[in-house]
Structure 1
Amino acid sequence: MTTVGFIGLGIMGGPMAVNLAKAGYDVLGYDVTAARTEMLARAGGRAAAGVAEAVQKADVVVTMVRDSADVEAVALGEDGILANARAGQLYIDMSSISPTTSRAVAEAARPLGVRVLDAPVSGGEPGAIEGSLSIMVGGGAEDFEAALPVLEVLGATVVHVGPHGAGQTVKAANQLIVAGTIELVAEAIVFLEAYGVDTGAAVRVLAGGLAGNRILDRKAAGMLARRFEPGFRIDLHHKDMGIVTSAAREAGVVIPLGSAVAQLIAALKAQGDGGLDHSALLKLVEQLSGRASR
């Protein structure tokens, strides 16, 4: 039985680790919040006392943590993943971080013989629970093939997109599209409501035409009802838009619409809404339109 050391058991990582346990993997999990580790143990996994144990007893190590700084700490720290890894071990980082950080971790792992993949995901909490995530993977082709059995438990779409850092670059593009689409759906809903249109009916017909998209399918009902429980928090999308705008600037690419949406997300975070789902962009459209939130 393959043992997977899974580090980071939050909104995304928790259900992902549970799915691996249900699929027959021996999952040894660790999270800084002990209750999350205990939840995995109750769901069929095992609890690790720390990062070192999760790495030393695993064949494959997976991380799903918040940001670049967390990956650097857990991967490159004094008693972190690389300090406890062995030659030939496979390390898959599924966090959404800077491509530069992913390349730096891979470079640090190379002389140790540790195989590294960056494999960020899209699909949110529902996709993590359902095992239907879209997974974009950067790294060596042979390492990707070795990781496929694990990744295919977690995602319905698993694609090798290039060398180290490529997975994170594609994820940045994904977050750019998602943020822009949510903003446009929010604007459309406020526009429709201003004219007294049956918005439920409008969403159905829009979803069936060229305007159809996954945001309408998955988020519109909650937006119409003003339910903004995360999902995917504004705080996290704010972090991701920082990655997008920074990477675009480094590449000399202009993203005017993306930059505008990044500022709108930053405004929501600044006014204390960082814990809401990113579909709460609707709240800001209402405020800017002088319309009271329902």
Structure 2
Amino acid sequence: MVIINACKQAAHKLKLFGELVMFSHTLFSLPFAIISMVWAAGGWPSGRIMLWGLIALIGARNGANAFNRLVDRTFDSQNPRTAHRHLPQRLLAEKEVAVFVAVNYAIFIFASGMLNLLCLILSPVAIVLISTYSYTKRFTYLSHLYLGFVIASAPIGAWFAVTGQIAFTPFVIGTVVMLWIAGFDIIYGTQDIDFDRRAGLWSIPSYFGLKNALRIAKALHFIMIMLLLFLYVWRGLGWIYLVGIGIATLLLMTEHNIIKPSNRQLMKVASYNLNQVISMVILACSLVDFFYVS
């Protein structure tokens, strides 16, 4: 009975940590990391690289998200939209989250070392970048772009993991991710315009207003699509890849058409659910195109 109760408690704690870091949101960065790996390897990379690359990505992402929750706990407790989160509700202790961050960052460094020397050397730099995002809303409305820049490290790092070399293509993929993430983070941020202004937090919606913020988000997503089309030409990709970009474009248009900051459920669909579908569509079409068409 003692063992069973301990297992139940451990499972519950694991569930809380999974919710804390929004583990399902790995679908934002992972598909582009896989595309980057496949293109870098000219096919499927070795099982060792796939394994340690995935572990590194998950360790970095979980550590960064938990660190962000730790740094923003005071603001989260004051914002009605986020007051239900784990730290404001004391579902997890601050020390527990701090240990979770340290463990995940250690896993990331170890996994990076198992990939190659370049990844190991760059791993502390990556930790600084993904951790400093948590402070950007305190002094710049460009925090959305910085978040996108941080998440863009996934496909860039994935390329490095395979080749151990710096190249042009992963930085284009990374820029696609940066613009995409920044765009829908701006959309999500429209819910907090009033709170951000009261709390002295910086964001594009609170600084430029609702209408201008949505125009900026559309512009970022337009450039994102243009870069995806550039990759089509640059890498000589096939028609299935273009179909994926077409579907992604339609989904982005839908996303922008259903925005309603007063409707929390609709904003979740626009900011998260549709974008998870977009990344999977681009992944599926890119892989089918690479292995069966191009």
User: Between Structure 1 and Structure 2, which shows a larger proportion of strand residues?
Assistant: 1
Per the TM superposition, whether the score is higher than 0.5 is no
Higher relative contact order (CA 8 A, sep 6+): 2
What's the TM-score, normalizing by structure 2? 0.30
